[in-house]
Amino acid sequence: MNVLCSKRDAVIIMKLEIDKLIRSKRRSIGLEINDKAELIIRAPRFATNKQIEQAVESRRNWIEQKQKLIRNKYSNYKPKMFVEGEEFLYLWEKYPLSFADDEQLIFQFDEGFILSRKWEIKARPLFIYWYKQEAKRIISSRVKQYAGNYGFNYGEIKITNARKRWGSCTGKNNLNFTWRLVLAPLQIIDSVVIHELVHTKIKNHSKKFWSEVYKIMPEYPLHNKWLKENGHLLNLD
Protein backbone atom coordinates (compact mmCIF):
# COMPACT_ATOMS: atom_id res chain seq x y z
CA MET A 1 0.00 0.00 0.00
CA ASN A 2 1.32 3.43 -0.92
CA VAL A 3 1.85 5.88 1.93
CA LEU A 4 1.07 9.53 1.32
CA CYS A 5 2.18 12.40 3.45
CA SER A 6 -0.36 15.18 3.79
CA LYS A 7 0.30 18.86 3.13
CA ARG A 8 0.45 19.36 6.90
CA ASP A 9 3.16 16.71 7.23
CA ALA A 10 5.10 17.86 4.17
CA VAL A 11 8.87 17.52 4.43
CA ILE A 12 10.96 20.68 4.10
CA ILE A 13 14.40 20.09 2.60
CA MET A 14 16.62 23.14 2.09
CA LYS A 15 13.53 25.31 1.50
CA LEU A 16 12.20 22.90 -1.12
CA GLU A 17 8.81 21.66 0.03
CA ILE A 18 7.74 18.12 -0.76
CA ASP A 19 3.98 18.21 -1.11
CA LYS A 20 3.55 14.45 -1.39
CA LEU A 21 5.84 11.59 -0.48
CA ILE A 22 4.64 8.28 -1.95
CA ARG A 23 6.38 5.09 -0.84
CA SER A 24 5.96 1.83 -2.72
CA LYS A 25 7.86 -1.25 -3.90
CA ARG A 26 9.71 0.76 -6.54
CA ARG A 27 13.52 0.60 -6.58
CA SER A 28 14.46 4.20 -7.29
CA ILE A 29 13.48 7.70 -6.19
CA GLY A 30 11.42 9.64 -8.72
CA LEU A 31 10.53 13.34 -8.76
CA GLU A 32 7.47 14.90 -10.35
CA ILE A 33 6.11 18.45 -10.60
CA ASN A 34 2.35 18.44 -11.19
CA ASP A 35 0.11 21.10 -12.77
CA LYS A 36 -0.17 22.87 -9.42
CA ALA A 37 3.63 23.20 -9.19
CA GLU A 38 3.62 20.68 -6.33
CA LEU A 39 6.69 18.52 -5.79
CA ILE A 40 5.83 14.82 -5.58
CA ILE A 41 8.42 12.26 -4.52
CA ARG A 42 8.00 8.56 -5.27
CA ALA A 43 10.41 6.53 -3.19
CA PRO A 44 11.16 2.91 -2.19
CA ARG A 45 9.60 1.87 1.11
CA PHE A 46 12.91 1.81 2.93
CA ALA A 47 14.52 4.91 1.43
CA THR A 48 15.94 7.10 4.21
CA ASN A 49 15.25 10.80 4.65
CA LYS A 50 18.88 11.46 3.79
CA GLN A 51 18.58 9.57 0.50
CA ILE A 52 15.42 11.51 -0.36
CA GLU A 53 17.13 14.77 0.59
CA GLN A 54 20.08 13.99 -1.67
CA ALA A 55 17.77 13.10 -4.57
CA VAL A 56 15.88 16.38 -4.19
CA GLU A 57 19.02 18.46 -3.82
CA SER A 58 20.58 16.90 -6.91
CA ARG A 59 17.60 18.14 -8.96
CA ARG A 60 17.23 21.51 -7.23
CA ASN A 61 17.71 23.61 -10.39
CA TRP A 62 15.25 21.49 -12.37
CA ILE A 63 12.67 21.65 -9.57
CA GLU A 64 12.87 25.42 -9.15
CA GLN A 65 12.81 26.11 -12.89
CA LYS A 66 9.88 23.74 -13.47
CA GLN A 67 7.85 25.21 -10.60
CA LYS A 68 8.51 28.76 -11.80
CA LEU A 69 7.48 27.86 -15.34
CA ILE A 70 4.21 26.27 -14.19
CA ARG A 71 3.34 29.14 -11.82
CA ASN A 72 3.89 31.67 -14.60
CA LYS A 73 1.86 29.55 -17.00
CA TYR A 74 -1.16 29.41 -14.70
CA SER A 75 -0.84 32.92 -13.25
CA ASN A 76 -3.60 34.36 -15.47
CA TYR A 77 -5.78 31.28 -15.54
CA LYS A 78 -9.19 31.65 -13.93
CA PRO A 79 -11.23 28.61 -12.87
CA LYS A 80 -14.64 28.19 -14.47
CA MET A 81 -17.57 29.51 -12.42
CA PHE A 82 -20.41 28.67 -14.87
CA VAL A 83 -22.03 32.08 -14.52
CA GLU A 84 -24.02 34.25 -16.94
CA GLY A 85 -21.82 35.70 -19.69
CA GLU A 86 -18.80 33.53 -18.93
CA GLU A 87 -17.06 32.36 -22.09
CA PHE A 88 -16.28 28.76 -23.00
CA LEU A 89 -14.09 27.36 -25.76
CA TYR A 90 -15.25 25.32 -28.71
CA LEU A 91 -12.75 24.70 -31.52
CA TRP A 92 -10.74 27.55 -29.97
CA GLU A 93 -13.53 30.08 -30.40
CA LYS A 94 -15.06 31.65 -27.30
CA TYR A 95 -18.81 31.49 -26.78
CA PRO A 96 -20.79 32.98 -23.86
CA LEU A 97 -23.01 31.07 -21.47
CA SER A 98 -26.57 32.26 -20.93
CA PHE A 99 -29.43 30.87 -18.86
CA ALA A 100 -33.00 30.26 -19.95
CA ASP A 101 -36.17 29.81 -17.92
CA ASP A 102 -37.59 27.31 -20.43
CA GLU A 103 -38.16 24.11 -18.44
CA GLN A 104 -38.22 21.99 -21.59
CA LEU A 105 -34.66 23.05 -22.43
CA ILE A 106 -31.70 21.51 -20.66
CA PHE A 107 -28.57 22.43 -22.61
CA GLN A 108 -27.97 23.54 -26.17
CA PHE A 109 -25.51 25.38 -28.39
CA ASP A 110 -26.70 28.16 -30.72
CA GLU A 111 -23.98 30.77 -31.31
CA GLY A 112 -23.41 30.37 -27.62
CA PHE A 113 -24.14 27.97 -24.78
CA ILE A 114 -27.66 28.03 -23.36
CA LEU A 115 -28.45 26.26 -20.11
CA SER A 116 -31.76 25.89 -18.32
CA ARG A 117 -31.61 27.74 -15.03
CA LYS A 118 -33.24 24.69 -13.51
CA TRP A 119 -30.10 22.68 -14.39
CA GLU A 120 -27.57 25.30 -13.35
CA ILE A 121 -26.22 23.11 -10.58
CA LYS A 122 -25.35 20.44 -13.19
CA ALA A 123 -23.59 22.86 -15.55
CA ARG A 124 -20.18 21.20 -15.52
CA PRO A 125 -21.30 17.61 -16.26
CA LEU A 126 -23.70 18.92 -18.93
CA PHE A 127 -20.87 20.79 -20.62
CA ILE A 128 -18.67 17.70 -20.50
CA TYR A 129 -21.44 15.53 -21.96
CA TRP A 130 -21.94 17.98 -24.84
CA TYR A 131 -18.21 18.26 -25.48
CA LYS A 132 -17.92 14.47 -25.56
CA GLN A 133 -20.66 14.20 -28.15
CA GLU A 134 -19.03 16.87 -30.29
CA ALA A 135 -15.60 15.28 -29.87
CA LYS A 136 -16.97 11.92 -31.02
CA ARG A 137 -18.62 13.51 -34.06
CA ILE A 138 -15.70 15.71 -35.14
CA ILE A 139 -12.83 13.37 -34.34
CA SER A 140 -14.55 10.37 -35.95
CA SER A 141 -14.99 12.42 -39.11
CA ARG A 142 -11.32 13.47 -39.15
CA VAL A 143 -10.11 9.93 -38.48
CA LYS A 144 -12.25 8.61 -41.32
CA GLN A 145 -10.98 11.28 -43.70
CA TYR A 146 -7.27 10.81 -42.98
CA ALA A 147 -7.53 7.02 -42.82
CA GLY A 148 -9.17 7.02 -46.25
CA ASN A 149 -6.64 9.44 -47.73
CA TYR A 150 -3.55 7.61 -46.45
CA GLY A 151 -4.64 4.00 -46.19
CA PHE A 152 -4.82 3.49 -42.42
CA ASN A 153 -6.97 0.79 -40.82
CA TYR A 154 -8.34 1.36 -37.34
CA GLY A 155 -10.78 -0.24 -34.92
CA GLU A 156 -13.09 1.57 -32.50
CA ILE A 157 -12.89 5.23 -31.56
CA LYS A 158 -13.36 6.07 -27.89
CA ILE A 159 -13.64 9.48 -26.23
CA THR A 160 -11.97 9.60 -22.81
CA ASN A 161 -11.66 11.92 -19.81
CA ALA A 162 -7.85 11.95 -19.99
CA ARG A 163 -6.33 15.20 -18.73
CA LYS A 164 -2.85 15.00 -20.24
CA ARG A 165 -2.92 12.21 -22.78
CA TRP A 166 -4.45 13.67 -25.92
CA GLY A 167 -4.70 10.37 -27.74
CA SER A 168 -3.57 6.75 -27.77
CA CYS A 169 -3.65 3.68 -29.99
CA THR A 170 -4.11 0.17 -28.63
CA GLY A 171 -2.52 -3.02 -29.88
CA LYS A 172 -5.77 -3.77 -31.72
CA ASN A 173 -5.68 -0.33 -33.38
CA ASN A 174 -8.52 1.08 -31.31
CA LEU A 175 -8.11 4.85 -31.00
CA ASN A 176 -8.67 6.88 -27.83
CA PHE A 177 -8.98 10.67 -27.72
CA THR A 178 -9.74 13.02 -24.83
CA TRP A 179 -12.86 15.17 -25.18
CA ARG A 180 -10.73 18.19 -24.29
CA LEU A 181 -9.39 18.24 -27.83
CA VAL A 182 -12.67 19.69 -29.09
CA LEU A 183 -11.79 22.92 -27.31
CA ALA A 184 -8.68 23.26 -29.51
CA PRO A 185 -8.34 24.48 -33.13
CA LEU A 186 -9.20 21.91 -35.79
CA GLN A 187 -5.60 21.67 -37.02
CA ILE A 188 -4.51 20.65 -33.53
CA ILE A 189 -7.14 17.90 -33.51
CA ASP A 190 -5.88 16.77 -36.91
CA SER A 191 -2.31 16.53 -35.62
CA VAL A 192 -3.34 14.25 -32.77
CA VAL A 193 -5.47 12.16 -35.14
CA ILE A 194 -2.55 11.70 -37.53
CA HIS A 195 -0.21 10.81 -34.68
CA GLU A 196 -2.50 8.01 -33.53
CA LEU A 197 -3.29 6.77 -37.04
CA VAL A 198 0.42 6.39 -37.78
CA HIS A 199 0.63 4.28 -34.62
CA THR A 200 -1.73 1.79 -36.27
CA LYS A 201 1.22 0.94 -38.52
CA ILE A 202 4.22 1.82 -36.34
CA LYS A 203 3.84 1.08 -32.61
CA ASN A 204 6.80 3.16 -31.43
CA HIS A 205 8.30 6.62 -31.75
CA SER A 206 11.16 5.64 -34.04
CA LYS A 207 12.60 7.83 -36.81
CA LYS A 208 10.39 5.92 -39.21
CA PHE A 209 7.33 6.87 -37.17
CA TRP A 210 8.14 10.58 -37.08
CA SER A 211 9.06 10.57 -40.75
CA GLU A 212 5.59 9.24 -41.57
CA VAL A 213 3.92 11.82 -39.31
CA TYR A 214 5.85 14.74 -40.82
CA LYS A 215 5.19 13.47 -44.33
CA ILE A 216 1.44 13.78 -43.75
CA MET A 217 1.60 16.93 -41.61
CA PRO A 218 4.84 18.94 -41.84
CA GLU A 219 3.42 21.43 -39.31
CA TYR A 220 3.20 18.74 -36.61
CA PRO A 221 6.09 20.14 -34.48
CA LEU A 222 4.39 23.54 -34.33
CA HIS A 223 1.06 21.97 -33.36
CA ASN A 224 2.75 19.85 -30.69
CA LYS A 225 4.42 22.99 -29.30
CA TRP A 226 1.03 24.72 -29.27
CA LEU A 227 -0.43 21.90 -27.18
CA LYS A 228 2.41 22.10 -24.68
CA GLU A 229 1.89 25.83 -24.29
CA ASN A 230 -1.92 25.94 -24.34
CA GLY A 231 -3.05 22.47 -23.30
CA HIS A 232 -3.80 23.66 -19.76
CA LEU A 233 -6.56 25.89 -21.19
CA LEU A 234 -8.44 22.93 -22.66
CA ASN A 235 -10.44 22.09 -19.55
CA LEU A 236 -13.35 23.10 -17.36
CA ASP A 237 -11.49 23.36 -14.05
pLDDT tens digits for range 160-185:
999 889 999 999 999 999 999 999 99
Residues 186-195 pLDDT 10s: 999 999 999 9
pLDDT bracket for residue 70 (50, 70, 90): confident
Residues 135 and 228 in one domain: yes
Which pLDDT belongs to residue 15? 62
Which pLDDT belongs to residue 8? 42
Residues 183 and 98 in one domain: no
45 located within any domain: yes
- Assign 3-class secondary structure to the chain: CCECCCCCCCEEECCEEECEEEEECCCCCEEEECCCCCEEEEEECCCCHHHHHHHHHHCHHHHHHHHHHHHHHHCCCCCCCCCCCCEEEECCEEEEEEEECCCCCCEEECCCEEEEHHHHHHHHHHHHHHHHHHHHHHHHHHHHHHHHHHCCCCCCEEEECCCCCCEEECCCCCEEEEHHHHHCCHHHHHHHHHHHHHHCCCCCCCHHHHHHHHHHCCCHHHHHHHHHHHHHHCCCC
Structural domain of residue 57, as residue ranges? 11-74
CATH number of the domain residue 150 falls in: 3.30.2010.10
The count of structural domains within the chain is 3
Query: Looking at residues 85-109, what average pLDDT do you find?
Result: 95
6 located within any domain: no
82 located within any domain: no
Residues 229 and 159 in one domain: yes
**Total-model pTM:** 0.78
Residues 145 and 118 in one domain: no
Residues 29 and 55 in one domain: yes
2 located within any domain: no
Query: Looking at residues 63-80, what average pLDDT do you find?
Result: 84
Lowest mean pLDDT among 63-77, 203-217, 222-236: 63-77
Residues 221 and 139 in one domain: yes
